[in-house]
Amino acid sequence: MSRPRDENKIEVIYEATLKLVLETGFNGLKMADVAKAANLATGTLYIYFKNKGVLINELYYHLKKNKTLKMLEVFDATDPFLIAFKKLWMNYVNISLAEPERLKFIEQYTHTSYLTKKTIQQSDQLLKPLEDFLSSGIMLGLIKQLPVQLLLGQLMGPINESVKLHYNETLKITSQLKEELFEMAWNSIKA
């Protein structure tokens, strides 16, 4: 019988991997370096992750799941659509600003061949509540009748780019600018 997975160890492995892969890229990432950074024996790392491909896929899903769950914490189905939309949008901005390295990793690996079809499908499933929310806005005639995936891309893409500009010190995202960015986002999808 195998031992249960130690979630604290897995979290340490994820943090070490995130830091290293952002420095070295996928090809430069070595399991021995991850083990060393996580203060584990390399053999112990292989007990948890068969290879770096599995590790990257699980890290990607873990980060995407945590970010989505954090964003949805503010969602209240009883709120009027625009209020719920603004809460979700602002929360996504704030999470992205607070976790730039996670944003960078997710963005880097979203459209790569490193992710398996299973990881992509599981990750896409995480967005189902947001897709359902946007679909309700379409049905209510509040937002444009466009494919929901296109609407999500239209909303998240500018946030991701704005956060990158903020961390490159090209742009300072203030409270006032967040409000203006929100207005731009809302105007881009409203019916």
C-beta of residue 31 within 8 angstroms of C-beta of residue 43: no
Distance CA 66, CA 44 (A): 25
10-27 pLDDT, tens per residue?
Answer: 999 999 999 999 999 899
Whether pLDDT at 7 is above 60: yes
Would you say the C-alpha torsion 134, 136, 137, 139 has a positive or negative sign? positive
Q: Which domains does the chain have, with CATH numbers?
A: 1-49 (1.10.10.60), 65-189 (1.10.357.10)
Whether pLDDT at 5 is above 80: no
Q: Which residues of 156-170 are buried (b: 16+ CB within 10 A; e: fewer)?
A: beebbebbbebbeee
pLDDT value at residue 1: 44
Burial class (CB in 10 A: 0-12, 13-18, 19+), 98: exposed
pLDDT value at residue 130: 95
Whether pLDDT at 4 is above 70: no
The rounded mean pLDDT for the chain is: 94
pLDDT value at residue 96: 95
